[in-house]
């Protein structure tokens, strides 16, 4: 819970911004202004990692490709996230085996590893300067019981999936993170860090160079089937397309009601601190890893690529809120973990909307003949681009477009229409329980 001091204005730095730290000093993308063409081979709705990677494939495959974006290109999560890259599959191998059988479970988990390897290859192959680094992750246990669970999971990861993971006990924790609030944690060396907006800018340049057209300020308002494909309606007019790909993730609307009923939009919130002394960053992030914890309502944080600031993210309110309200609350949580930051001020506070799913898996496939990829459950930096790329290959009719997600049912719930009325109660309960568990662990 935020203290009175944190709810006051004194946590704000002069001239703080309610926009993503990653966009600071970045010129808006230089996208040629073109008229809406009358007809293209492929229309892609949404210009984040999913949409642009699909566009790179279809344009390189010789299809005339048009990406339509409601706001400016990259406006969604793809320029606002924490820049942390994991293997991106939330359910464990054990859970997936119980649901889908051993082979499918291994294959789904394998897609997470493939996505992590793929993003590094994409960035290298396209020469995208975006501070990508195999930083490694310290995943911290908020209770001793959580540490035991992590130890079992690390063992299963290493033996069952060939993913290196080591346990760091509490008495050695300060080698990784300058705090004593956790009860040890797991180190996963393969996880990576990136500047998400620079990565997005590089993808945009790559898509344009490949011949795709990208139109901002062009919301798609309706899609109807025709004898030969689709008619895509926008306020600038209509365009005919043979194929349509939906890449709207957390911003999915009634434009695609079938998908809207299957994704749960959830806000995630981040702050950046004002520049800190080098010694402070060296003490708090001595190994420069990305960090997260085992709270059900997870916190994720890291140093900025130039090691001058801390970027601290999480979900600090039951219902959706404003960066003015989330900022002081995140600051209070950051100071609970790193008390020496209590005098530090916020330079940026922002949010974005991610898409959860009822089975905690991403989904890709076709519905009504239209391709889609979405539902990355807050872990889409590598997975969104990877599935976007696969979706592009599927539009081209290539066999390699098939993934282990193929044919999985995309679940919804009775009466769910895309407005998650149940979320505030669930988040409030999880946050209360996380706090209770942490406090008990401190006493015990
Ligand atoms: C604060 C925050 C922190 C995060 N941190 C991490 C992290 O550290 N690691 C990680 O792996 N993931 C993280 N994520 C998630 C990750 O950013 C997303 O999963 C990923 O960016 C999704 O990419 P996308 O292209 O599918 O969607 P987006 O980038 O959200 O793009 C969707 C686009 O669709 C457009 N759109 C919607 N409807 C229409 C329409 N009708 N017509 C035209 N355009 C439309 C929207 O305007 C939007 O620009 C975070 C997300 C947030 C918000």
Confidence of residue 137 (pLDDT cuts 50, 70, 90): very high
Which has the closest alpha carbon to 70: 45, 53, 51?
45
Which has the closest alpha carbon to 96: 85, 82, 83, 107?
107
DSSP H helical segments within 303-422, as ranges? 323-337, 383-395
Distance 140 CA to ligand 1 centre (A): 26
Q: Is 354 in the pocket of ligand 1 (CB under 6 A)?
A: yes
Confidence of residue 1 (pLDDT cuts 50, 70, 90): very low
3-state secondary structure of 157: helix
Bridge partner list, 301: 291, 312
Over residues 224-251, mean pLDDT: 98
* Count of CB atoms situated within 10 Å of the CB of 439: 11
3-state secondary structure of 290: strand
Task: Report pLDDT for 9.
Answer: 52
Q: What average pLDDT does the structure give for the chain?
A: 95
* 194 burial type by CB count under 10 A (0-12 exposed, 13-18 middle, 19+ buried): buried
List, in order, residues 6 or more apart from 29 with CB less than 8 Å away: 72, 73, 74, 201, 204, 205
Task: Report pLDDT for 32.
Answer: 84
Q: What is the largest CA-CA distance in the chain?
A: 68
List, in order, residues 6 or more apart from 287 with CB less than 8 Å away: 136, 138, 175, 176
Given the structure tokens 């995140």, which residue do they identify? 330
Q: What Rg do the C-alpha atoms of the chain give, in angstroms?
A: 22
- Ranking 19-28, 252-261, 316-325 by mean pLDDT, the lowest is 316-325
Q: Is 292 in the pocket of ligand 1 (CB under 6 A)?
A: no
Q: Are 194 and 79 in contact (CB under 8 A)?
A: no
Task: Report pLDDT for 4.
Answer: 40
Task: Report pLDDT for 250.
Answer: 98
Distance CA 43, CA 376 (A): 22
Distance CA 101, CA 126 (A): 37
391-437: pLDDT as tens digits: 999 999 999 999 999 999 999 999 999 999 888 888 888 888 888 88
Task: Report pLDDT for 444.
Answer: 63
List, in order, residues 6 or more apart from 372 with CB less than 8 Å away: 245, 246, 247, 256, 259, 363, 364, 365, 366, 391
Task: Report pLDDT for 176.
Answer: 97
Q: Is 53 in the pocket of ligand 1 (CB under 6 A)?
A: no
Q: Is 250 in the pocket of ligand 1 (CB under 6 A)?
A: yes
Q: Is 116 in the pocket of ligand 1 (CB under 6 A)?
A: no
Q: Is 248 in the pocket of ligand 1 (CB under 6 A)?
A: yes
Cα angle 423, 426, 430 (rounded to 5 degrees) comes to: 135
27-78: pLDDT as tens digits: 887 888 889 999 999 999 999 999 999 999 999 999 999 999 999 999 999 9
Percent of the chain past pLDDT 70, that is, above it, reads 98
Over residues 121-133, mean pLDDT: 98
Q: Is 375 in the pocket of ligand 1 (CB under 6 A)?
A: no
* Count of CB atoms situated within 10 Å of the CB of 417: 12
Distance CA 381, CA 84 (A): 7
Distance CA 70, CA 185 (A): 41
Q: Are 353 and 229 in contact (CB under 8 A)?
A: no
Q: Are 262 and 412 in contact (CB under 8 A)?
A: yes
Distance 82 CA to ligand 1 centre (A): 12
Over residues 204-226, mean pLDDT: 97
Q: Is 268 in the pocket of ligand 1 (CB under 6 A)?
A: yes
Task: Report pLDDT for 363.
Answer: 98
153-184: pLDDT as tens digits: 999 999 999 999 999 999 999 999 999 999 99
Q: Is 251 in the pocket of ligand 1 (CB under 6 A)?
A: yes
Using the atom order of ligand 1, give the atom closest to the CA of residue 269.
1
Task: Report pLDDT for 3.
Answer: 46
Distance 122 CA to ligand 1 centre (A): 19
Distance 1 CA to ligand 1 centre (A): 28
Task: Report pLDDT for 318.
Answer: 82
Q: Pick the residue whose CA is nearest to atom 4 on ligand 1.
A: 81
Q: Is 114 in the pocket of ligand 1 (CB under 6 A)?
A: no
* 174 burial type by CB count under 10 A (0-12 exposed, 13-18 middle, 19+ buried): middle
Q: Is 359 in the pocket of ligand 1 (CB under 6 A)?
A: no
Distance CA 240, CA 42 (A): 9
Distance CA 135, CA 85 (A): 9
Task: Report pLDDT for 391.
Answer: 98
* 421 burial type by CB count under 10 A (0-12 exposed, 13-18 middle, 19+ buried): exposed
314-368: pLDDT as tens digits: 988 888 899 999 999 999 999 999 999 999 999 999 999 999 999 999 999 999 9
Q: Is 316 in the pocket of ligand 1 (CB under 6 A)?
A: no
Q: In whole angstroms, what separates CA 57 from the centre of its chain?
A: 21
Using the atom order of ligand 1, give the atom closest to the CA of residue 49.
25
Q: Is 78 in the pocket of ligand 1 (CB under 6 A)?
A: yes
Using the atom order of ligand 1, give the atom closest to the CA of residue 253.
38
Mutating to test ligand 1, I would choose from 19, 23, 31, 48 the residue with most ligand atoms within 8 A of its C-beta, which is: 48
Distance 325 CA to ligand 1 centre (A): 22
Distance CA 52, CA 66 (A): 10
Q: Is 327 in the pocket of ligand 1 (CB under 6 A)?
A: no
Distance 20 CA to ligand 1 centre (A): 13
């Amino acid at each position: 819970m935020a203290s009175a001091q944190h709810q006051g204005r004194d946590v704000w730095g002069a001239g703080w911004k309610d926009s993503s730290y990653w966009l600071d000093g970045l010129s808006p993308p230089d996208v040629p202004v073109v008229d809406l063409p009358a007809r293209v081979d492929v229309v892609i709705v949404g210009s984040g990692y999913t949409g642009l990677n699909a566009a790179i494939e279809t344009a390189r495959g010789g299809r005339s490709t048009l990406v339509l974006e409601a706001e400016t290109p990259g406006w969604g999560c793809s320029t606002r996230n924490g820049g942390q890259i994991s293997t991106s599959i939330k359910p464990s191998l054990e859970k997936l085996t119980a649901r889908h059988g051993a082979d499918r479970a291994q294959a789904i988990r394998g897609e997470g590893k493939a996505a992590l390897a793929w993003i590094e290859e994409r960035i290298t192959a396209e020469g995208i300067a975006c501070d990508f680094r195999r930083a490694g992750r310290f995943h911290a246990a908020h209770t001793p019981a959580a540490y035991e669970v992590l130890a079992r999971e690390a063992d299963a990861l290493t033996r069952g999936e060939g993913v290196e993971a080591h346990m760091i006990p509490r008495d050695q924790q300060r080698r990784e993170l300058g705090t004593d609030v956790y009860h040890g944690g797991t180190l996963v060396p393969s996880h990576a860090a990136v500047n998400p907006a620079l990565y997005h800018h590089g993808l945009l340049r790559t898509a344009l160079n490949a011949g795709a057209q990208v139109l901002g300020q062009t919301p798609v308002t309706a899609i109807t089937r025709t004898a030969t494909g689709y008619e895509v309606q926008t306020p600038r007019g209509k365009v005919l397309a043979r194929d349509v790909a939906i890449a709207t993730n957390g911003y999915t609307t009634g434009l695609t009601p079938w998908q809207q009923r299957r994704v749960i939009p959830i806000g995630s919130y981040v702050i950046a601190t004002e520049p800190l002394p080098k010694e402070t960053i060296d003490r708090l992030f001595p190994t420069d890893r990305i960090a997260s914890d085992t709270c059900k309502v997870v916190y994720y944080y890291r140093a900025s690529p130039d090691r001058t600031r801390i970027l601290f993210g999480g979900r600090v309110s039951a219902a959706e809120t404003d960066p003015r309200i989330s900022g002081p609350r995140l600051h209070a949580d950051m100071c609970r973990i790193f008390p020496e930051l209590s005098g530090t001020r916020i330079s940026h506070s922002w949010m974005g909307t991610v898409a959860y799913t009822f089975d905690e898996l991403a989904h890709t496939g076709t519905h009504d003949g239209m391709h889609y990829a979405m539902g990355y459950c807050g872990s889409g930096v590598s997975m969104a681009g990877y599935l976007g790329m696969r979706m592009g290959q599927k539009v081209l009719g290539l066999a390699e477009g098939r993934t282990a997600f193929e044919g999985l049912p995309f679940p919804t719930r009775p009466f769910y229409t895309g407005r998650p009325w149940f979320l505030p109660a669930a988040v409030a309960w999880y946050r209360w329980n996380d706090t209770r568990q942490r406090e008990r662990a401190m006493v015990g």
